[in-house]
Amino acid sequence: MENYIVETRNLKKYYQQGTNTVKALDGVDFRVKAEEFVAIIGKSGSGKSTLLHMIGGLDVPTSGSVIVGGKNLAGLTKEQLAIFRRRKIGFVFQSYNLVQDLNVYENIILPIELDGKRVDQEFVQEIMELLQLEERREALPSTLSGGQQQRVAIARALVSKPTLILADEPTGNLDTATGHDVLGLLKIVAKQFRQTIVLITHDNDIAQMADRIVRIEDGKIVKGSEFYAEE
């Protein structure tokens, strides 16, 4: 049987808005193989962020299951879920969410320090070099360009050596050329460390950088899910 790093089964997420039920996800069977780079595309409000949040254990489904790295997230307590997120998932969002009074290096190692773990200096060095941040090691976020700030956010997401990187519009605040550069670097780093990427984008060119594109419409996958249908 194929080993999937992510597997959702008949995943549903409904939101109640007054008397209206919003079906943000309406029966999603989504599978991602280890080391794959999958782009999720679709119109605003189609359910992309909701799907990513379910996979990352940031929110709970109405029904159906989410299995990440062989673990059914429904079986985890709140504390176990927090540890799962911290150790297994690297989140990258559109906003960089850097701590303004910490420098580049300090921002990158922050998750390790918060987890009370020893910093693998050699690994941090390697990530910083790959993401071309070495020269800005001591710089504060406010002195960096958008692309540099997002590269710091990516380095921070990678520092705990997550198996899965979940990125929600990571290039949304960047100009096209910078967005491509940043994504190109993310792709190289993920290959190097054998990580899996699930990325949401509105940008078709960015989506083309992925191994596979999945389109979501009205809470359902309409293209891409058939990819593994025969397995």
Give the one residue of 1, 2, 17, 230 binding ligand ATP; rule: CB under 6 A.
17
Instruction: Please report whether residue 213 would count as binding ligand ATP according to CB under 6 A.
Output: no
Minimal distance in Å, beta carbon 142 to ligand ATP?
A: 27
User: CA 59, 64, 65, 66: dihedral to nearest 10 degrees?
Assistant: -50
The total of other beta-carbon atoms located within 10 Å of residue 64's CB is 18
Distances (CA, A) of 37 to 34, 119, 142, 213, 224: 9, 27, 31, 9, 13
Give the one residue of 26, 36, 38, 48 binding ligand ATP; rule: CB under 6 A.
48
* C-alpha span between 99 and 115 (Å, rounded): 17
Minimal distance in Å, beta carbon 13 to ligand ATP?
A: 8
Give the one residue of 4, 5, 39, 46 binding ligand ATP; rule: CB under 6 A.
46
Continuous segment of H or E residues that includes residue 136: none
Instruction: Please report whether residue 19 would count as binding ligand ATP according to CB under 6 A.
Output: no
Distances (CA, A) of 14 to 9, 10, 39, 163, 193: 15, 13, 23, 28, 36
What count of Cα atoms within 13 Å lies in the side-chain half-sphere of residue 229?
A: 6
Q: Site size for ligand ATP, by CB under 6 A?
A: 12
Nearer to ligand ATP, 60 or 114 (CB): 60
Instruction: Please report whether residue 56 would count as binding ligand ATP according to CB under 6 A.
Output: no
Instruction: Please report whether residue 50 would count as binding ligand ATP according to CB under 6 A.
Output: yes
Nearer to ligand ATP, 46 or 160 (CB): 46
Q: Which residues contribute to the site for ligand ATP (CB under 6 A)?
A: 15, 17, 22, 24, 42, 44-50
